[in-house]
Amino acid sequence: MFHLGWFVGRGYSVHAWNQPWSGSIGSDWPTGELLIDLARAMDRACFDYLMIEDGSFVTDAHRGSSEWHLRNAATVPKLDPMPLVPLLGQATTHLGIVTTMTTGFYPPYLAARLAITLDHLTRGRAGFNLVTAHNDRTAQNFGLDRHYEHDLRYEMADEWIDVVSRLWESWQPDAIVADHSTGIFADHRKVHPIDFAGRYYKSRGPLNAPPGPQRRPVICQAGGSPAGIAFAAKHADTIVARARGIEGARAYRGEVLARMKELGRDPRSCKILFCVGLVLGETIDEAREKKKRLDRSIAENIEPRLAQVSFLSGIDFSTFDLDAPLPEIHTNASRSLTMLLTHGTGARTLREALSDPSSGGVDFVGTPDSIATEMGETMAAIGGDGFMVTEGLTRRAIGEITDGLVPTLQRRGLVRRRYDHVLFRDNLLEF
Ligand SMILES: Cc1cc2nc3c(=O)[nH]c(=O)nc-3n(C[C@H](O)[C@H](O)[C@H](O)COP(=O)(O)O)c2cc1C
């Protein structure tokens, strides 16, 4: 069996703006109901987790302005996903709920307390996608002139998770007594200061919040650079990876597992989920036709991809000659994703790279039946541990995947039909 997740890559935002099947998203999006519907459908389909992207800046890299992104509701607006977690938790029974938290700008104490609170409110189903934040504009919103250097961010993140973990451990498991006969609620001898003084962070502790059902919420990570992989191998319970095709995914997995072994970690203690692109049809011909249409629309209008790489890199890609050999790119922002979409395509020019029909992950085109077969074979070839849906979010896509594809996977015994555990981590690490 393999695991399933869904990555909401546009965060708590306006999904599929001005595209077919997006309902009245232009006015409804702030209610979060689309995400609640998604969570409910995923819970019914027994997915492992829903993961919501986040970031805290309005990009203005592309053509030196925020116009394109605001006009197209792309990456902005974006509401804070944290308050959405209890609502998603109430709408579901077993689904893991992962929100993105930046190690760069959450003080460790606030992060530790928020994470624990959400773990309580979801009864042990909270997880956090730890990112270092990648853009100077974010850094400027938090009082810096420039963001910290790429690898230094991961060094800081390493210390950050150390402080947060110690705060989570500052209450012994049996500190809460809640004994009516003695009147004692908590045993003060079992709640300890941490007195942490590191290179980048300092915190006295203890946390004023006792651990939630999981004690340590699930840690998710998605960094693809060597520093990102090293961080993930050390701390993550699950990794979301965007790797090209079976070979890319196998190589990525091999690298993470080798790192984990070096660190003395059991490789089974972290589940790697690979991003997939899915094009589903009633017949194979219909799916292929749909894919052709999508490929054509990408090639005919590369502005969205151009804007995407400007967003990820913080570099204005509109200034490059589209038909010259690919430019050398040095970015302090999202390094691995920028390279994946440009040099990682094997293309010669920027136009070729940005017209690449692949999703940048593992792609499937067909009917639920044909895709289920291919997914099973592909997962066997990669070696584990699961797939991450990354579809543009509409209720149609939710239905196609959770009521179309997943039941077919379930009938073949490829994914779970029911949850066996109460806590998110227990379901995640079950197989
Ligand atoms: C599937 C996936 C999801 C990601 N989600 C986020 C996110 O929500 N917020 C963010 O700032 N970065 C996100 N990233 C970017 C990375 O986590 C990372 O911060 C960034 O790429 C820079 O690190 P790297 O060069 O090690 O990849 C995501 C990356 C991937 C592959």
User: How confident is the model at residue 380, as a pLDDT?
Assistant: 98
Q: Does residue 5 have its Cβ closer than 6 Å to ligand 1?
A: no
CA distance 139 to 101: 14
Q: State yes or no: pLDDT of 352 exceeds 90.
A: yes
- How far away, in angstroms, is 81 Cα from ligand 1 center? 16
**Average pLDDT score over the chain:** 96
User: How confident is the model at residue 399, as a pLDDT?
Assistant: 97
User: How confident is the model at residue 335, as a pLDDT?
Assistant: 84
User: How confident is the model at residue 336, as a pLDDT?
Assistant: 84
User: How confident is the model at residue 134, as a pLDDT?
Assistant: 87
CA distance 237 to 216: 10
Q: Does residue 134 have its Cβ closer than 6 Å to ligand 1?
A: yes
pLDDT in tens, 102-147: 999 999 999 999 999 999 999 999 999 999 998 999 999 999 999 9
Q: Does residue 225 have its Cβ closer than 6 Å to ligand 1?
A: yes
Per the structure block, which two tokens stand in for 384? 């584990």
Give the contacts of 363 (CB within 8 A, at least 6 positions apart). Answer: 276, 277, 278, 279
Number of alpha carbons in the 13 Å side-chain half-sphere of residue 429: 15
Q: Does residue 336 have its Cβ closer than 6 Å to ligand 1?
A: yes
Q: Does residue 101 have its Cβ closer than 6 Å to ligand 1?
A: no
Q: Does residue 368 have its Cβ closer than 6 Å to ligand 1?
A: no
Q: Does residue 248 have its Cβ closer than 6 Å to ligand 1?
A: no
DSSP string, 244-312: SHHHHHHHHHHHHHHHHHHTT--GGGSEEEEEEEEEE-SSHHHHHHHHHHHHHHHHH--HHHHHHHHHH
Give the pLDDT band (50/70/90) at residue 344: confident
User: How confident is the model at residue 225, as a pLDDT?
Assistant: 86
Beta strand residue intervals within 32-187, DSSP E:
49-52, 78-79, 96-102, 126-131, 176-179, 184-186
Q: Which of 13, 51, 80, 129 best tests ligand 1's pocket when mutated (most atoms within 8 Å of CB)? A: 129
- How far away, in angstroms, is 285 Cα from ligand 1 center? 35
CB burial readout 221-252, b (16+ within 10 A) else e: bbbbbebbbbbbbbbbbbbbbbbbbbebbeeb
Share of the chain above pLDDT 90, in %: 91
User: How confident is the model at residue 387, as a pLDDT?
Assistant: 98
Atom of ligand 1 nearest to the CA of 240: 1
Per the structure block, which two tokens stand in for 245? 């095709």
Q: How many CB atoms lie within 10 A of CB 20?
A: 7
Per the structure block, which two tokens stand in for 156? 């800081």
Nearest CA to ligand 1 atom 21: 334
User: How confident is the model at residue 340, as a pLDDT?
Assistant: 84
Q: State yes or no: pLDDT of 223 exceeds 80.
A: no
Nearest CA to ligand 1 atom 7: 53
**Could you give the 3-state DSSP secondary structure of residue 389?**
strand
Per the structure block, which two tokens stand in for 141? 């919103």
pLDDT in tens, 373-430: 999 999 999 999 999 999 889 999 999 999 999 999 999 999 999 999 999 999 999 9
Mean pLDDT of 177-183: 97
- How far away, in angstroms, is 131 Cα from ligand 1 center? 6
CA distance 188 to 174: 11
Pairing of strands 184-186, 218-221: unpaired
- How far away, in angstroms, is 393 Cα from ligand 1 center? 19
User: How confident is the model at residue 405, as a pLDDT?
Assistant: 98
Atom of ligand 1 nearest to the CA of 100: 8
- How far away, in angstroms, is 334 Cα from ligand 1 center? 7
CA distance 402 to 177: 43
Share of the chain above pLDDT 70, in %: 100
Give pTM, 2 decimals. 0.96
Q: Which of 334, 341, 342 best tests ligand 1's pocket when mutated (most atoms within 8 Å of CB)? A: 334
- Find the farthest-apart pair of alpha carbons in the chain and give their distance in angstroms, rounded: 79
User: How confident is the model at residue 334, as a pLDDT?
Assistant: 86
Pairing of strands 78-79, 12-13: antiparallel
CA nearest 362: which of 336, 381, 347, 342?
Answer: 381
Q: Does residue 231 have its Cβ closer than 6 Å to ligand 1?
A: no
User: How confident is the model at residue 190, as a pLDDT?
Assistant: 98
